[in-house]
């Protein structure tokens, strides 16, 4: 039996997207502990394993068991902002000390030494956990965040376009092959959560997540906002190193650098990400992107702290001419 989320008019009106650096940390722990079970993410796991050898993340590891049936709610509360800073999310985590004992008891995780200490002194334990998350982030996530963040923001931009063009039902049904609608019920594939859950007028928070792959994670229990964390589009190419060659005729007109930038925009991307992929400086990439935008070949969209560039229909037609 699938997990079923019941929508009301209020829920439709308050459904939104967010990106969560904290959730990427938590979900990535599963990958580090079991790289063989996450083939698409294994290149990343193999690279960061050496860096994590000098990092103390034992409490964090204890809170994310493998195989992962569920993750305790206080570890990764749904973000309240669309693109929160990690420190903002850690402040929210520390503010949930009153939920620690109940969450640990419900998941049966409080019997090991470090988790018993967290259970007995939640405030002190959460301070230690926040410190471990910072250290883990610096070693395992921060060096890749430009690439990861661009992919996540690009997915949000794509979903927003789909929502505008085709409506909420079509957009949500595209999240995963196992997602479907029945009346006002959204059905999600879930190995552990079943039955019908109301959204309580809070709407649904949609969080694209690289390290969620290959499954969907959901949050439905109070006091948290109902949340679905899902793998973004383009994940299979995230760790690839490739050079995109634009058509020669287009390069002859625009110049190879600007034609290459257009070719790289097969998915929305930030200036920083495009600069890294093309070998340009960020100011240089921004100068070329500004020229392309003024020529009507790309558009700029601000999402949170990021500005993402996307090709226009004119650019798509030019790139199709080989």
pLDDT in tens, 177-205: 888 888 889 998 876 677 888 898 999 99
* Closest by Cα among 281, 288, 279 to 251: 288
Alpha helices in the chain (DSSP H): 9-14, 21-33, 42-52, 58-63, 86-94, 100-107, 113-120, 122-136, 145-166, 168-173, 248-254, 256-264, 271-278, 282-294, 313-320
| DSSP label at residue 38 | -
pLDDT in tens, 270-288: 898 899 888 899 999 999 9
Is 6 in a helix, a strand, or coil?
A: strand
Residue 303: pLDDT over 60: no
* Closest by Cα among 227, 253, 226, 256 to 244: 256
Q: Mean pLDDT throughout 40-59?
A: 90
Q: Determine the pLDDT at residue 202.
A: 92
pLDDT in tens, 240-255: 655 667 888 888 899 9
Mean pLDDT of the chain: 88
CA distance 118 to 24: 22
Q: What kind of fold does domain 241-320 have according to CATH?
A: Arc Repressor Mutant, subunit A (1.10.10)
pTM confidence score: 0.77
Q: Determine the pLDDT at residue 95.
A: 94
pLDDT in tens, 102-158: 888 887 776 678 999 999 999 999 999 999 999 999 889 987 887 888 889 889 989
Which DSSP string corresponds to 176-194?
-TT-EEETTEEEE--SS--
Edge-first strand order for the sheet with 269-270 is 269-270, 306-311, 298-303
Residues 6 or more apart whose Cβ sits within 8 Å of residue 47: none
- CATH 1.10.10.10: which residues of the chain? 241-320
């Amino acid at each position: 039996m699938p997990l079923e989320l019941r929508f009301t008019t209020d829920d439709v009106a308050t459904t939104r997207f967010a990106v969560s650096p904290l959730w990427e940390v938590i979900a990535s722990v599963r990958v580090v502990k079991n790289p063989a079970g996450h083939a698409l993410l294994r290149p990343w796991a193999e690279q960061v394993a050496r860096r994590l050898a000098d990092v103390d993340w034992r409490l964090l590891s204890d809170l994310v068991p493998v195989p992962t049936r569920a993750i305790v709610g206080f570890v990764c509360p749904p973000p309240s902002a669309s693109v929160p800073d990690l420190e903002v999310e850690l402040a929210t985590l520390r503010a949930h000390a009153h939920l620690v004992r109940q969450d640990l008891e419900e998941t049966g995780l409080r019997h090991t030494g470090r988790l018993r200490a967290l259970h007995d002194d939640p405030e002190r334990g959460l301070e230690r956990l926040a410190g471990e998350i910072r250290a883990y982030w610096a070693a395992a996530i921060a060096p890749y965040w430009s690439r990861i963040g661009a992919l996540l923001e690009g997915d949000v931009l794509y979903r927003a376009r789909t929502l505008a063009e085709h409506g909420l039902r079509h957009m949500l049904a595209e999240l995963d092959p196992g997602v479907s609608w029945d009346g006002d019920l959204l059905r999600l594939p879930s190995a552990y959560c079943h039955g019908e859950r109301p959204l309580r007028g809070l709407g649904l928070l949609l969080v694209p997540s690289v390290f969620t792959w290959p499954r969907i994670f959901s949050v439905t229990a109070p006091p948290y906002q109902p949340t679905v964390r899902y793998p973004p589009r383009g994940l299979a190419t995230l760790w690839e190193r490739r050079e995109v060659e634009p058509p020669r005729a287009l390069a002859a007109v625009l110049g190879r650098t600007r034609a290459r930038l257009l070719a790289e925009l097969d998915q929305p991307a930030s200036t920083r990400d495009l600069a890294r992929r093309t070998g340009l400086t960020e100011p240089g990439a921004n100068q070329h992107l500004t020229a392309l935008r003024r020529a009507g070949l790309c558009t700029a969209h601000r999402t949170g702290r990021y500005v993402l560039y996307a090709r226009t229909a004119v650019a798509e037609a030019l790139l199709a001419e080989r």
